[in-house]
A = this chain, B = another copy of it.
Amino acid sequence: MPITMYSGSVPVFLQLLPAMSGCLDKAQAFAESRKYDPNLLLQLRLAPDMFPFARQVQQATAHALAPGRIAGVELPNLTDCTTIPELKQRIATTVDFLKGIQPAQIDGKENAEVTVQLGPNMRQFKAQNLLYHHALPNFYFHTTTAYDILRHYGVELGKRDFMGQMPG
């Protein structure tokens, strides 16, 4: 099978998102073992002017919707989260959404123009650039930073927890 817009991106999101959900399980269990409220983790940051953990996970899931933007389908309504179960639900909603995207909905659309709202601004991308040069770098940035926050604050995780399960 030659690589396509779909096969180079959707299976990647579907590798990393369940891994992030698994990291949340381990974070919850770790906090409980240390007898602190697991939801305190959601406010932790690596620097005062970086997003806290909850926002890192939220940004990762928002960027993972890019295949849906290219497909031109209605996106799921991802709401802000204040607990670990809510973050896990947000990830699950994103995974379900991505599983519903068919390769034919985005393959061959490399040069389609896609308009995306970024904060207050509208920005136009070629679909291939949106996916491989904007959404995936942002997705990886926020999943990694979420992992780094947990590691920095002592949650017992290893690189495999980040990497998840490669397709067979």
A residues bordering B, Cβ < 8 Å?
A: 1-5, 7-8, 11-12, 15-16, 46-47, 50, 108, 110-111, 128-129, 132-134, 136-138, 140-141, 144-145, 147-148, 151-152, 154, 159, 162-163, 166-167
Contact = CB atoms under 8 A, between A and B. Distances in A.
A143 to B, nearest CB: 8
Given A3-B4, A3-B5, A8-B3, A162 B133 contact: no
Q: How many copies does the complex hold?
A: 2
Dominant SS among interface residues on chain A? helix
A151 B4 contact: no
A138 B8 CA distance: 15
Q: Which of A1, A3, A111, A147 lies at the interface centre, i.e. has the most chain B CB atoms within 10 A of its CB?
A: A3
A109 to B, nearest CB: 10
A159 B128 CA distance: 21
Nearest to A111: B1
A159 B2 CA distance: 33
A137 B3 contact: no
Q: Which of A1, A7, A108, A148 lies at the interface centre, i.e. has the most chain B CB atoms within 10 A of its CB?
A: A148
Given A5-B3, A151-B46, A137 B12 contact: yes
A144 B133 contact: no
Given A128-B3, A144-B144, A11 B162 contact: no
Q: Which 8 A-B pairs have the closest CB atoms?
A: A140-B140, A144-B144, A133-B166, A8-B8, A46-B152, A47-B151, A148-B148, A141-B144
